């Protein structure tokens, strides 16, 4: 019963929370750039408008791929908040990401294809860190099950600082923030135009946007999982940590320029190896001893 409640909660609340977070994001970014910025509810207005626009497509199949993307992402988040296997969640997430890649590739548009190719490189860059974070949880708690990890009474961040750093690092990629927004540049008139999303318009762009919200809420949940240990006070830790991480991402976004993909791949893998790797080594040694 509890599980169903949580799944429904995620499905209903995630877009609202995700949209609000993005609104706040825009506001803070604007403040950092000494602008007034749009109202906090602006993302919702945008999506509403997108849904009402005339549907213009380059290829019919794009809608098909994007709906799959949305549905699979919802499944990922629902599985996570229902407390299932975290490794499986990420496997389904990578299938969802593949659907997004198809949505861009299917148009055969030069900019979208370029963005899609870069998206693939991004996936390759972040996947090791994601998988290793799951291993981190497994080593700390002896299980991949989200429910058991969350309710174990152990504060995971103490055991997993390196994994946490690696995960926050790849969050920049996943949240499409500069310097790693190489697949979908924030701004028009850059070398990529809008990359992956170049050919998405109207309802399709709205679907993409909502899916990003679902994704962000899922990812923030994973950030929170590092802090939650079943007690009420830990929920507060988790929320504070999530807000801090989100702020950090905004700060990084506004203070850095886009990187070349080669550098992104190299840096991400090196950071993963050093932070998650060292942490893993220590945990394994402790476990053996």
Partner 1 sequence: MNIIPFLILFPFVMAVLMFCIRPNKVRNAIAYIGATVIMGGSFFLMGQWIMGGCKPIQLYYETHYADMAILCAEIILMIVVTFLCFKYKKYWVSILTIVPTCMMAYLELFGPKTAEIAHIYIDHLSILMCLIVGVIGALIVIYAVGYMHGYHHHHTDIEDRRYYFFTLLFLFLGAMFGFVLSESLLWIDFFWELTSVCSFLLIGYTRESIAITNSFRALWMNLLGGAALAIGIMYFTFTERNVSLHYLVKECMAGNNFAIIPVALIAFAALTKAAQLPFSTWLIGAMVAPTPSSALLHSATMVKAGIYVLFRLAPAMSGTITGNMIAFIGGFTFLITSVMAIAQSDGKKVLAFSTISNLGLMVACAGMGRPETIWAGVFLMIFHAISKSLLFQDVGATENALHSRDIEDMHGLLYILPRLATFMFIGIAGMFLAPFGMLIAKWSAFKASVDSGNIIMVFFIAFGSATTSFYWTKWMGKLVSHTHLTEEKVKDITKKNEIISLTIHAILMVLLCALFPLLSKVYVDPLLAEMFGKSSEVLPQSLLYMLVVIILFVFAVPAIAFKFSRTQQFNRKLSYMNGVNTGENKAFTDSMGEAKTLWLSNYYFYKMIGQRKLMLPSQMFAIAVLIVMMIMVIGGAA
Give the separation between CA 59 and CA 65, rounded to whole angstroms: 11
Least gap, CB of 192 to partner 1 (angstroms): 11
Q: Are 194 and 115 in contact (CB under 8 A)?
A: yes
Q: Which stretch binds partner 1 (CB under 8 A): 17-25, 67-75, 157-165, 238-246?
A: 67-75
57, 235, 239, 271: which one contacts partner 1 (CB under 8 A)?
Answer: 57
H or E stretch including 17?
A: helix 2-32
Q: Are 228 and 242 in contact (CB under 8 A)?
A: no
Considering beta carbons, is residue 113 or 172 the nearer one to partner 1?
113
Q: Which stretch binds partner 1 (CB under 8 A): 13-21, 221-229, 250-258, 276-284?
A: 276-284
Calculate helix-pair angle for 61-81, 202-225, nearest 10 degrees. 20
Q: Give yes or no for residue 167 binding partner 1 (CB under 8 A).
A: no
Considering beta carbons, is residue 161 or 277 the nearer one to partner 1?
277
Q: Are 75 and 88 in contact (CB under 8 A)?
A: no
Binding mask 79-118 for partner 1 (x = CB under 8 A): x----xx-xx--xx-xx--x--xx--xxxxxxxxx--xx-
Q: Are 120 and 101 in contact (CB under 8 A)?
A: yes
Tokens representing 206 are 């709205």
Q: Give yes or no for residue 6 binding partner 1 (CB under 8 A).
A: no
Binding mask 125-144 for partner 1 (x = CB under 8 A): x-xx--xx--x--xx----x
4, 34, 36, 54: which one contacts partner 1 (CB under 8 A)?
Answer: 54
Q: Are 73 and 218 in contact (CB under 8 A)?
A: yes
Site for partner 1 in 27-46 (CB under 8 A): none
Binding mask 234-273 for partner 1 (x = CB under 8 A): -----------------------------------x---x
**SS3 of residue 101 by DSSP:** helix
Site for partner 1 in 179-198 (CB under 8 A): 193, 198
Per-residue burial over 195-229, b if 16 or more Cβ lie within 10 Å, else e, is: bbbbbbbbbbbbbbbbbbbbbbbbbbbbbbbbbbb
Q: Which stretch binds partner 1 (CB under 8 A): 19-27, 60-68, 172-180, 237-245?
A: 60-68
Considering beta carbons, is residue 24 or 87 the nearer one to partner 1?
87
Query: What are the residues facing 145 on neighbouring strands?
Result: 85
Count, residues in the chain: 289
Q: Give yes or no for residue 121 binding partner 1 (CB under 8 A).
A: yes
Q: Are 24 and 176 in contact (CB under 8 A)?
A: no
Per-residue burial over 46-74, b if 16 or more Cβ lie within 10 Å, else e, is: bbeebeeeeeeeebeebbebbebbbebbb
Binding residues vs partner 1 (CB under 8 A) = 54-65, 67-68, 71-72, 75, 79, 84-85, 87-88, 91-92, 94-95, 98, 101-102, 105-113, 116-117, 120-121, 123-125, 127-128, 131-132, 135, 138-139, 144-145, 193, 198-199, 269, 273, 277, 280-281, 284, 287-288
């Amino acid at each position: 019963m509890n599980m169903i409640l949580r799944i429904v909660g995620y499905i209903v609340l995630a877009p609202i929370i995700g949209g609000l977070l993005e609104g706040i994001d825009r506001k803070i970014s604007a403040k950092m750039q000494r602008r007034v910025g749009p109202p906090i509810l602006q993302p919702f207005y945008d999506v509403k408008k997108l849904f009402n626009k005339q549907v213009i497509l380059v290829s019919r199949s794009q809608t098909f791929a994007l709906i799959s993307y949305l549905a699979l992402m919802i499944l990922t988040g629902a599985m996570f908040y229902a407390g299932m296997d975290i490794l499986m969640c990420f496997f389904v997430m990578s299938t969802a990401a593949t659907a997004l890649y198809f949505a861009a590739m299917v148009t055969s548009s030069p900019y979208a294809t370029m963005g899609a190719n870069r998206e693939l490189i991004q996936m390759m860059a972040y996947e090791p860190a994601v998988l290793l974070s799951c291993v981190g949880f497994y080593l700390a708690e002896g299980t991949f099950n989200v429910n058991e990890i969350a309710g174990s009474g152990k504060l995971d961040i103490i055991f997993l600082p390196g994994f946490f750093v690696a995960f926050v690092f790849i969050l920049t990629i996943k949240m499409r923030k500069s310097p790693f927004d190489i697949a979908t540049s924030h701004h028009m008139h850059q070398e990529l135009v809008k990359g992956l999303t170049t050919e998405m318009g109207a309802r399709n762009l709205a679907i993409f946007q909502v899916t990003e919200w679902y994704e962000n809420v899922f990812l923030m949940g994973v950030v929170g999982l590092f802090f939650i240990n079943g007690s009420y006070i830990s929920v507060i830790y988790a929320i504070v940590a999530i807000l801090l991480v989100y702020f950090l991402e905004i700060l990084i976004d506004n203070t850095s320029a886009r990187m070349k993909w080669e550098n992104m791949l190299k840096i991400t893998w090196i950071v993963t190896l050093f932070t998650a790797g060292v942490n893993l080594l220590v945990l394994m040694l402790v476990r053996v001893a």
